[in-house]
């Protein structure tokens, strides 16, 4: 905790003893009334440095020192600290196209519509007759992508059927037809067909063209016709019925017994499927960049001994499914990693999958508690999932958290009919946020290091039997603070010849700050070790082990050190000459 060591009021703690830059007990003036060649008494040397100002948590946990750290600025949780990291990604939903294919042409003939009763030279007459014929039509769609499981309808582009009318006897021709009904199979849809699935036409053209908009197949699966071995086949009947006028042109000779039949040939344009309805199961992968945590944290949270057991970490996922052709279902694996090693893994949700609806943006929260933590306000319409082991990801603050949505974790919802344009990319945006509120359980342990440096220029002339730092700590932070001080020499080495006791500052609250008498004692094995001190490294371990679940860290919480004193213990040996 930087302010505990360095704020005005402490004046650098031990430095003040030797620099005299703070007000001290006037009975000690190192330039007067002391035999500069003698030891300074057997009771040691004590200095009263006074009180510090309140050291607020906002001055220790500074939000501007980390892009991840922030506080709530309004509402019931005013000042609550939280870590936040956010990012975005996108992925495409698509199904490969079905290659254009051909429908085999069909041909049908009527029965004999007229038999010549006797020989006729230069025949010139017409005959009205009722014509009827039919033929079987088979449609096979090959090379269907493996992602397509069922097909109910196939929308086509510029597809049509062409019917060519003729006679099997060139001496006769079709002069006209009236209410000729061309009936197509039920699975062939055209805007020209009536409710009986017939195209009714009158005229004299030998060619009749019928546009085809869709092919619709019977449902034998959930929503369509099941695709087997990459293919769908469907049979149906094409029939022709109507009044037809046959005639000769006056230049032909007819022989007794000659007959005439009407022939109709049906051909189809190349079929290019555009859109299908039915059921598809495309492979979907969402690549989300790892959520970087540790590199953006304040230094005091990076130590390996930090343990971080928060009460309600929350992951928020927003999917922009406005362009989705059908709803999706997803599950994911969150992994926390240190040095590329997985230290914890959590499934979201804990069981089953969560829906991503089509045509809208959807939000899903995954939180340890039933009510998610969102400093910006929980979206009332969002899906909320409780993941009871979510905090295991951050028992030790990781370098990064990875989000895995690959390998079949995101699928098309098989409980709904699908409609999709083949070969088209449907983009889906993903926004993600992870919130880690500083609301913690009993296993929380935070470490903070700071140092007082450049002490040797003032201590090199002093030797003492010991050193004690005392104070009355007033703590309004709900964490027990274990204070340890480690002495270093000018070469940066720990002075192993000085043992240091630790002290605990009891936790308190804003409503009831806790007062603790603090004493940290240095015991050198030789008085000379005091003169070797160059730096004191302060190690503050914040522990929540004795606290109730649900405590929070607020920027308005503080610690204050009152009646701060530094004492050189026992006989002090120096030389001021």
Strands 383-386 and 361-367: parallel
- Tens-place pLDDT, residues 219-260: 999 999 999 999 999 999 999 999 999 999 888 999 999 999
Report the pLDDT value the prediction gives residue 449, as an integer from 0 to 100: 55
Which H, E and C letters describe 479-494, residue by residue?
A: CEEEEEEEEECCCCCE
Return the residue matching tokens 């499914």: 321
Report the pLDDT value the prediction gives residue 494, as an integer from 0 to 100: 92
- Indicate whether 45 pLDDT > 60: no
Report the pLDDT value the prediction gives residue 231, as an integer from 0 to 100: 95
Sorted by where each begins, the domain ranges of the chain are 2-73+444-574, 82-94+285-417+424-437, 106-280
SS3 363: strand
Contact 187, 218 (CB under 8 A): yes
- Tens-place pLDDT, residues 50-94: 555 566 665 555 555 555 566 666 676 666 767 788 888 999 999
Q: How far is CA 373 from the centre of its chain?
A: 16
Contact 47, 566 (CB under 8 A): yes
Report the pLDDT value the prediction gives residue 397, as an integer from 0 to 100: 74
* pLDDT classification of 476: cutoffs 50, 70, 90: confident
Report the pLDDT value the prediction gives residue 49, as an integer from 0 to 100: 44
Contact 464, 568 (CB under 8 A): yes
Output b/e per residue, 142-160; b: 16+ Cβ within 10 A.
eebbebbbbbbbbbbeebe
Global pTM exceeds 0.75: no
Smallest CA-to-CA distance from 82 within 439, 392, 556, 544 is with: 439
Strands 273-280 and 400-404: unpaired
- Cα Rg for the chain, rounded, in angstroms? 45
Q: Could you tell me the two tokens for 138? A: 């088979």
Q: Work out the end-to-end distance of the chain between its first and last CA atoms, rounded to an integer number of angstroms.
A: 38
296-304: average pLDDT: 61
- Tens-place pLDDT, residues 486-501: 889 999 999 999 999 8
CATH of domain 82-94+285-417+424-437: 2.60.120
């Amino acid at each position: 905790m930087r302010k505990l060591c360095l704020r005005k009021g402490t004046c650098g703690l031990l430095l003040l003893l030797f620099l005299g830059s703070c007000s001290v007990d006037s009975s000690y003036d190192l330039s007067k009334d002391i035999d500069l060649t003698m030891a300074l008494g057997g009771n040691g040397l004590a200095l009263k440095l006074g009180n510090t100002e309140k050291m607020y948590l906002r001055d220790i946990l500074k939000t501007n020192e980390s892009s991840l750290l922030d506080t709530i600025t309004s509402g019931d949780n005013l000042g609550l600290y939280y870590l936040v990291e956010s990012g975005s990604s996108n992925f495409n939903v698509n199904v490969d196209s079905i290659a254009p294919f051909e429908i085999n042409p069909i041909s049908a003939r009527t029965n004999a519509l007229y038999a010549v009763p006797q020989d006729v030279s230069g025949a010139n007459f017409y005959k009205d007759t009722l014509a009827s014929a039919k033929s079987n039509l088979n449609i096979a769609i090959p090379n269907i992508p493996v992602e397509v499981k069922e097909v109910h309808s196939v929308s086509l582009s510029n597809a049509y059927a062409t019917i060519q009318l003729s006679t099997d006897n060139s001496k006769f021709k079709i002069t006209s037809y009236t209410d000729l009904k061309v009936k197509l199979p039920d699975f062939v849809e055209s805007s020209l067909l009536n409710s009986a699935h017939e195209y009714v036409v009158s005229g004299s053209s030998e060619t009749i063209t019928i546009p085809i908009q869709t092919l619709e197949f019977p449902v034998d699966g959930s929503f369509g016709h099941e695709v087997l071995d990459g293919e769908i086949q469907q049979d149906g009947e094409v029939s022709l019925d109507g009044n037809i006028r046959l005639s000769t042109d006056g230049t032909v000779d007819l022989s007794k017994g000659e007959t005439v039949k009407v022939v109709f040939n049906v051909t189809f344009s190349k079929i290019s499927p555009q859109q299908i309805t039915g059921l598809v199961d495309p492979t979907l992968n969402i690549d989300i960049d790892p959520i970087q945590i540790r590199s953006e944290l304040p230094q005091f949270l990076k130590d390996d001994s930090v343990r971080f057991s928060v009460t309600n970490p929350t992951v928020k996922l927003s999917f922009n499914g406005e362009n989705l052709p059908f709803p999706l279902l997803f599950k994911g694996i969150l992994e926390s990693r240190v040095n590329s090693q997985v230290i914890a893994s959590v499934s979201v949700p804990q069981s089953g999958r969560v829906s991503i609806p089509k045509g809208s943006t959807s939000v899903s929260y995954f939180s340890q508690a039933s009510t998610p933590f969102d400093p910006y306000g929980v979206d009332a319409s969002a899906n909320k999932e409780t993941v009871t082991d979510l905090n295991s990801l951050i028992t030790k603050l990781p370098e990064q958290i990875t989000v895995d949505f690959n390998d079949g974790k995101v699928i098309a919802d098989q409980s709904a009919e699908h409609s999709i344009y083949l070969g088209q990319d449907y983009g889906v945006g993903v926004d993600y946020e992870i919130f880690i509120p500083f609301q913690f359980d009993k296993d929380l342990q935070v470490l903070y290091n700071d140092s007082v440096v450049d002490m040797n220029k003032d201590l090199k002339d002093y030797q003492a039997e010991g050193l004690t730092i005392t104070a009355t700590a007033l703590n309004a932070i709900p964490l027990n603070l274990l204070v340890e001080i480690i002495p270093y020499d000018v070469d940066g080495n720990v002075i192993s010849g000085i043992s240091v006791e630790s002290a605990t500052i009891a936790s308190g609250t804003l409503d009831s700050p806790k007062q603790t008498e603090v004493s940290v004692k240095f015991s050198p094995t030789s008085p000379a070790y005091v003169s070797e001190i160059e730096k004191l490294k302060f190690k503050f371990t914040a522990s929540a082990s004795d606290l109730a679940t649900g405590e929070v860290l607020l920027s308005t919480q503080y610690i204050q050190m009152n009646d701060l004193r530094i004492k050189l213990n026992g006989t002090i040996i120096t030389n001021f000459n």
